[in-house]
Structure 1
Amino acid sequence: MSLLQVQNISKAFGGVKAVQNISFALQAGELLALIGPNGAGKTTTFNLVGGQLAADSGQVLLGGKNISGLAPRAIWRLGVGRTFQIAQTFASLTVVENVQMALLSADRKIFSWWPRAAGHRRSDALALLEQVGMQAQAERPCSELAYGDVKRVELAMALAHDPQLLLMDEPTAGMAPGERVALMQLARRIARQRQMGVLFTEHSMDVVFGQADRVAVLVRGQLLAEGTPQQIRADARVQQAYLGTGLVLEKQK
């Protein structure tokens, strides 16, 4: 059984059919990229999986359980983590305190008094930071970090409740080319280690074709093609859909 199954989901906003009968599956330990021109339905599809939107029809299954219509927090409790296009961290807190806050939320103790919270599962927080290469900067305020490092802290926070599925919304937006590849290589390694599925939207084609196991291409709210990066790169329909968009589908140097 696939970790995630999206079955014929559709969503319209007034007369605009944003998503039309889209289906795909994601296995544990796999990275699946959702790509497409602007207005293709990527964000809508992503938010239908995460619960930010409710589908008009179709369903989303997580480990065989129908999660369609559940609130984002309920879906998070079932083991779905998320990172955002603009990193969501507490700038005034230290790196380790940010991860401790995420652990407090995972343990349903977010309203604990701060003197108790400051010591909450510190060793676990440091272990998560070690996984993302940020343990050495544990005592620095997040406000002092380079943006690429902030994204690593956000990833550690998303891992705090041990998700089985991680949703990454344009994870490398605003990052330098080298940082983009390094972050997704890290996400790929963690996904393999934890057997965690990763669904991500991305505009950087070097990241998509270099790090994704499979790619799903959306055009005008419909699934145009799905396959390995090599299959997608060679697909004539995909090449035609991207003509004039400025996106490069050839292998990056």
Structure 2
Amino acid sequence: MTLLQVQSLCKTFGGVQAVHEVSFTLQAGELLALIGPNGAGKSTTFNMVGGQLQPDHGRVLLNAENLVGLAPRAIWRKGVGRTFQIAQTFASLTVVENVQMALLSRDQRIFSWWQRANAHRRPDALALLAQVDMAAQADRPCSELAYGDVKRVELAIALAHDPQLLLMDEPTAGMAPGERVALMQLTRQLAKARRMGVLFTEHSMDVVFGQADRVAVLVRGQLLAEGTPQAIRDDARVQQAYLGSGLVLEKQL
């Protein structure tokens, strides 16, 4: 089932065409990697899908409903979750309290004064932490965690809203090779189990070619190629776009 349709997105900054007529689709349960050399338009496209930027032209359809023009919070309410390149957690709160805060927000109870926040849906928060293998550390402050574990907590926070679509901006940035593969393998398992589409940007080619179901390649603001990891690996245009820019890729294309 087609979950996300990105149609003819365009964005210009001060006369510079950052994104031009970019279109792609994402199926439920699928992982789609959005890659390209620096300056290719990945972040601009990604932020237009999430509502942080408004396109000059084009549509972003989630289950056939156009999200363009909606604020990021409204898009979140429609079922779009997000993680960030630098993990966003409350360092002074415990692991489980971070997830409980997300559940409070989902339930629109952030400003409820008649119930202690750390009593809100604790079993549900623990269940989410179990899904990301962090239940054993539920009562530790996030400030004490290794960075790879903080990333797992951030994933549990994103899942608290039960998103249909998860946007992941450089999800493995700053992580060791073993940690980043493990995180994306976990994300892949959750996406399949939940029928959740995942759109992610990533510079680590071992993650892209090892975990993505499909890959979309942007160059100079335009979609150069889209297909399976093997098809992209074998595409001469993609090889030229990367190698011609002087980039050395892990597990060479």
**TM-score, with normalisation over the residues of structure 2?**
0.97
Tell me the residue number matched to 1:93: 93
Question: Is structure 2 residue 10 aligned with structure 1 residue 10?
Answer: yes
Could you tell me how far 1:114 is from its partner in structure 2?
8.4
One-letter amino acid of the structure 2 residue matched with residue 246 of structure 1: V
- Structure 2: runs of 5 or more not aligned: none
Tell me the residue number matched to 2:249: 247
Could you tell me how far 1:113 is from its partner in structure 2?
3.2
Tell me the residue number matched to 2:78: 78
Query: Is the 1:90–1:98 contact (alpha carbons within 8 Å) kept by the matching residues of 2?
Result: yes
Q: How does 1:217-228 map to 2 (within 5 A)?
A: 217-228=217-228
Tell me the residue number matched to 2:120: 120
Q: How does 1:32-43 map to 2 (within 5 A)?
A: 32-43=32-43
SS of residue in 1 equivalent to 2:120: coil
Could you tell me how far 1:181 is from its partner in structure 2?
0.1
Could you tell me how far 1:189 is from its partner in structure 2?
0.2
How far apart in 1 are the matches of 2:136 and 2:218? 40
SS of residue in 2 equivalent to 1:239: helix
How far apart in 2 are the matches of 1:145 and 1:11? 39
How far apart in 2 are the matches of 1:214 and 1:69? 28
Identity rate, percent = 81
Matched residues, number? 251
Q: Please report the RMSD computed on the Cα atoms of aligned residues, expressed in angstroms.
A: 1.0
One-letter amino acid of the structure 2 residue matched with residue 245 of structure 1: L
How far apart in 2 are the matches of 1:236 and 1:113? 60
- Bigger mean CA offset, 112-121 vs 162-171: 112-121
How far apart in 2 are the matches of 1:196 and 1:81? 10
One-letter amino acid of the structure 2 residue matched with residue 224 of structure 1: L
SS of residue in 2 equivalent to 1:200: strand
1:91-111 CA-partner distances (Å, limit 9, x unpaired) = 000000000000000001111
1:158-199 CA-partner distances (Å, limit 9, x unpaired) = 000100000000000000000000000000000000000000
Tell me the residue number matched to 2:149: 149
Tell me the residue number matched to 1:68: 68
How far apart in 1 are the matches of 2:235 and 2:129? 40
Post-superposition, which runs of at least 4 consecutive aligned residues in structure 1 deviate over 3 A?
none
SS of residue in 2 equivalent to 1:54: coil
Tell me the residue number matched to 1:169: 169
Could you tell me how far 1:115 is from its partner in structure 2?
5.3
1:9-62 CA-partner distances (Å, limit 9, x unpaired) = 100001110000000000000000000000000000000000000010010000
Distance 1:35 1:28, change over 3 A: same
How far apart in 1 are the matches of 2:241 and 2:18? 17
Could you tell me how far 1:249 is from its partner in structure 2?
5.3
**TM-score, with normalisation over the residues of structure 1?**
0.97
One-letter amino acid of the structure 1 residue matched with residue 70 of structure 2: L
Tell me the residue number matched to 2:24: 24
Could you tell me how far 1:250 is from its partner in structure 2?
2.7
SS of residue in 2 equivalent to 1:9: strand
How far apart in 2 are the matches of 1:80 and 1:130? 22
Could you tell me how far 1:116 is from its partner in structure 2?
1.8
Query: Is the 1:239–1:249 contact (alpha carbons within 8 Å) kept by the matching residues of 2?
Result: no
How far apart in 2 are the matches of 1:140 and 1:112? 25
One-letter amino acid of the structure 2 residue matched with residue 95 of structure 1: V
Question: Is structure 2 residue 206 aligned with structure 1 residue 196?
Answer: no
Distance 1:240 1:107, change over 3 A: same
Tell me the residue number matched to 1:58: 58
How far apart in 1 are the matches of 2:222 and 2:250? 21
SS of residue in 1 equivalent to 2:59: strand
